[in-house]
Structure 1
Amino acid sequence: MARQSLANYVKTEDWFTFTKQSFEFFQPYFEIDYPFKKYDQILVPDFNAGAMENVGAVTFNDSYISRGKKTQAQRMRLANVIAHELAHQWFGNLVTMNWWDDLWLNESFATYTANLALAENSEFTTAWENYYLGAKQWAYHTDQRPTTHAIQLPVNNTDEAFANFDGITYGKGGSVLKQLPYYLGKEEFRKGVNNYLKALSYDNSTLNDFINHLGKAADKDLNSWQQHWLYQAGLTTI
C-alpha cells in the first residue's frame, strides 16, 4: 500500500518478486510456516525509520519508491530491507526478546539472515560482498571510536536502547553471528535456530535462550565464545 500520489511509481514486480523469494527461503530455513494470517507492506510518508516489522504489517519509509528507474544497488537495498523485515516475523515477532539489552540480537539476526536469503535465493548473488563493503565497514569504523561499546551490554531504559542503533548493533552483531555457522556447522546452526523458535513461539526470550539452543544442537559449549565476542568492545588484535 502506498499513497495515491506515489502509487504509479511503485515497482510492483520488484516488491512482489523480492517478497516471494524471501518467503521461499525463510519458511524451509526456519521449518515453520509464516505464523500470521496476512502480510501487508505499507509505504508511509515521513516515516522516522527505514522500516518496522509490526506483526503481519511492515511499515516502510516511502523513500523506497523511486520516480525513475532504480539502480541495481537500489534494487538490492530494497530486496535486503524486505528480507530483513520478513525475517523479523519469526525472529522478533513469533519469538520476542524480553528486554532491550537483546535488541542487538533481534536486529543482527535479521541482518545476517536477510543477506543469507539474498545470496542463496535471489539475483543478488554478491550480497555478502556488498555486506562487507557496507555494514561490516560501518562496524569497523564504529568499533574504533571512543563511543564504541560491547555488543551485549546492560540497557536501563528505551532512551539508552535507541542510542545503540549503530554499527555495533547491526554491523558487528551481524558479522559475529555470521561466524557461528562456520564454528558450529551450517546445519547445526540452523537446527539450533529452529529449536529456539519452536520452543519459544509466542513467548519472550533472552540471549542465553538463543545461545543454549545453538550449543545444544551442535553439542558445543559457547560460554567462552560468548564472553570473547559479545562482552568485549573494540577490534580483535593478534
Structure 2
Amino acid sequence: MTGSEAPPSFRLAYVPGVIPTKWVRIWQERLPDIPLHLVAVSAAEAPGVLRRGGADAGFVRLPVDRTELSAIPLYTETTVVVVPKDHLVTAADEVSAEDLADEIVLHPLDEVLDWEQRPGQAAKERPATTADAVQLVAAGVGLLIVPQSLARLHHRRDLTYRPVTDAPQSRVALSWPEEKTTDMVEDFIGIVRGRTVNSSRGRRPAPAQPKEKRPDAGGARRKPAAHKPTGRGRRTGSGGVAKGGKRGKPRRRS
C-alpha cells in the first residue's frame, strides 16, 4: 500500500429510530482489521447518500428506488400515537385513526408514514422535524403518529404512546447501490441475516491448511511390523513343553 492509499473501511448509514449497535459489534468481532464508520442521515436523505457513494450500505425506510438500490426488508414497525400521559387516549390499550378524528394531529415535514388521508384535524403549521413535533405534543398543541422506534427515540417522561391499529406502517431495510455490491457489503449482509462466520455467503473463510504428519522418533512414519512368532509358545509332543506343564530336569539313566 502506498502512502496515498487509504486503508479499507466500511461506511454504514442509518436513519433515526434504527439502532445498529448489535450488527456493528458483530462486524468488529469478525473483521477487527476493517473499521466501520457510522453515518447518521435522515430518512429522506438516505437513498441519495447511498447513490452518491456517501456510504457503502445503510438502514433505510422503504420505499426506495429499486432500479438503483438493492434492498433487503428487515422488519415492519408498529405505528403509535404519542400523547401526554394524562390524555384520554391512555385509557385504551390501542386506538384507531377514527378515534383521533377530533384531535389535532401533527404531521412534521420529515414524516416517514405514507398516508392516503391524514387523520385528525390539521394544525395551522407543520413542524419542521419529528423532534419539534414531540415538543409540541408535550406543550399540549396536538398529537403525533409515528413508528414506535421514533416514539422511543424522542421519549419524554411526560409523554406516552398507544398503538394505532389502522395506520400505515414503516418498513426498515438494508440497502446499498446495486452496482457496488462489494465483498464488504456481502459480509455485512451475512451479519444482518444472521449467517455464521463460516457460511458460504458470509465472511470468506481462510483456506483450509493440510494437516501435518507427525513424524516418529526416526523422523519418518513407519508401518507397524507384522506379528511374528517368538518361538516361545506352547508346543506339544516329544522335546516340547507339555500343554499346561513345565519343562523339568532330565531323568538320570540307570
- Fold match (TM-score > 0.5): no
TM-score, length-scaled by structure 2: 0.22
More helix by percentage: 1
More strand by percentage: 2
TM-score, length-scaled by structure 1: 0.23
